[in-house]
Structure 1
């Protein structure tokens, strides 16, 4: 049983004068994220030509990009508007649970989409057989279960005792800052965080790397330049989304050495939890001709008059 009933989230800035600006920025980013991902989901759902494994995964990826910022940004907006930067212990655990799940789901959906493109480009004749509806659903279920198991185990282990300090130097609850505050023995928690989390974060990128290495090797062997471009265009937007996710997470943590550790962690959290879900729809809308065409058809539709 925790001695701390609530935690204080310091957010990105402790200066009261900056809170209205932060509220406007977070609200704008959140609205753009919601609109962009909803538009992609509507475009895919409204066109029968998109009822394929590739767009099935993309629709779920966009749906998850709605859930991920909702688990963090919505709380930030409420706290800033209410001038109350606290969160209950139960609320903190819930936020950790959903945040870990949605981040993990993002990673595994990217891996599933990479595998889909691998089969489409390297084994086109077997694509319909391999990427059957049953296989697509199985990949989605695995993408849901694996990160869910990790987030559930870590949330159960996060029932800790907090003696004095209850200040979290983040704008939302994350596992590591909570472990640093606890006066309990956190050895088991850190083992789960390092080994289980490390396995999940290594397994998916490894599958993605293997898939795209084989895809590039297959594209290089295509004799015509037009064929190479056509093959690359089918996975270009997904590869851009993969690069955006991992560059934002890895680059901010390991490349940036000018900022202090706390500031760097905050920037990294904003990048992969807030900015990346906002930019993903732009990648698919700008780089995917089929999505752009579907959006054009969706926007050009006019409601018919009841007297026509």
Structure 2
């Protein structure tokens, strides 16, 4: 039943991690540590790719764009979340909430399609190696990045226009940032159509890029299995391992968060899922590409004046 008492809501208050009140200090320390590691590691990745000519390839161009997007993505959400854990959080205006939601949606979708572009890059590199430099030229790479960003902007505009036309009769958001579902729950109006539209859009921006990556890897694996030498197969798999790891975690978390049926009794679980894709996943990208990628490790060694790994 929707509430009938209509009031003029001009700001929202985040309830944050209300159920974990006794552990707020511990959560603050853990999240702050992860946040600082995320910022530092993504800045290092972008810097290394920018200054090392060995990494001036389409694959690392996409990686630097993804790291930049992830950095801004965390800046939009995590600082306010941290301030709420130590009691410094202030109410957020409707305009501020709309801005946060707009940036969050834009960057989240941008990341999804950047991972798809990276999957296409790996497909061309392995399945069409002789034409790789022709197909993945600078113009194509730039168009793919702008395409990912444009899709994110378009979807964000549609979503924001839909959500903030609703009348609100409560101002306490049962979350730690302005996500779509928690904000729509505060509406006095029937949100059934909005929920259906939100589910359709979420399905498209998750399932479509995920499906394209899946098709790419079917073709990649098929090509790799035809390579005669075991060493060649191992090297080909190695070039895809980092990207595939990030893809599985990224799309897995997004699917659980936005494609599962909504429930009124799973607030704590929903928050834990949200923490996964707003705090942990942005750190996964640089960690995986640094620890599992020999070229990036060699570039790091060159940057600090050490001999590259053999």
Work out whether the TM-score is over 0.5: yes
CA distance in 1, matches of 2:244, 2:184: 35
- Displacement of 1:253 in angstroms is 7.9
**Corresponding residue to 2:47 among 37, 42, 55:** 42
Q: What residue in structure 2 maps to residue 115 of structure 1?
A: 120
CA distance in 1, matches of 2:236, 2:298: 19
Q: What residue in structure 2 maps to residue 59 of structure 1?
A: 64
3-state SS of the aligned residue for 1:181? Answer: coil
- Displacement of 1:82 in angstroms is 4.6
- In structure 2, the CA distance between the partners of 1:143 and 1:253, relative to structure 1 (3 Å rule), is closer
Unmatched runs of 5 consecutive residues or more in structure 1: 302-308
| Alignment TM-score, normalising by the size of structure 2 | 0.89
Contact 1:154–1:193 under 8 Å retained in 2: yes
- In structure 2, the CA distance between the partners of 1:229 and 1:120, relative to structure 1 (3 Å rule), is same
CA distance in 2, matches of 1:8, 1:282: 34
- Displacement of 1:180 in angstroms is 1.6
Q: What residue in structure 2 maps to residue 306 of structure 1?
A: none
- Displacement of 1:194 in angstroms is 2.0
- Displacement of 1:95 in angstroms is 1.1
Q: What residue in structure 1 maps to residue 89 of structure 2?
A: 84
The 5 A counterparts of 1:258-277 are 261-277=266-282
Q: Deviations over 1:82-113 (max 9, x none)?
A: 53353222111111111111110110010000
Contact 1:10–1:85 under 8 Å retained in 2: no
- Displacement of 1:122 in angstroms is 0.2
Corresponding position: 1:162 with 2:164: no
- Displacement of 1:189 in angstroms is 2.9
Contact 1:37–1:63 under 8 Å retained in 2: yes
Contact 2:41–2:287 under 8 Å retained in 1: yes
Q: What residue in structure 1 maps to residue 289 of structure 2?
A: 284
3-state SS of the aligned residue for 2:304? Answer: helix
CA distance in 2, matches of 1:293, 1:113: 21
3-state SS of the aligned residue for 2:13? Answer: strand
- In structure 2, the CA distance between the partners of 1:144 and 1:15, relative to structure 1 (3 Å rule), is closer
**Corresponding residue to 1:106 among 111, 118, 129:** 111
- Displacement of 1:200 in angstroms is 1.5
Contact 1:249–1:271 under 8 Å retained in 2: no
**Corresponding residue to 1:179 among 167, 184, 191:** 184
Corresponding position: 1:137 with 2:142: yes
Number of matched residues? 297
- Displacement of 1:79 in angstroms is 3.0
The 5 A counterparts of 1:158-307 are 158-159=163-164, 160-163=166-169, 165-250=170-255, 261-300=266-305
Contact 1:53–1:136 under 8 Å retained in 2: yes
3-state SS of the aligned residue for 1:197? Answer: helix
Q: What residue in structure 2 maps to residue 71 of structure 1?
A: 76
- Displacement of 1:69 in angstroms is 1.3
| Alignment TM-score, normalising by the size of structure 1 | 0.90
3-state SS of the aligned residue for 1:156? Answer: helix
CA distance in 1, matches of 2:128, 2:231: 19
- In structure 2, the CA distance between the partners of 1:89 and 1:253, relative to structure 1 (3 Å rule), is closer
Contact 2:206–2:255 under 8 Å retained in 1: no
Q: Deviations over 1:177-220 (max 9, x none)?
A: 11121013435533431222321111100110000111011001
CA distance in 2, matches of 1:85, 1:248: 29
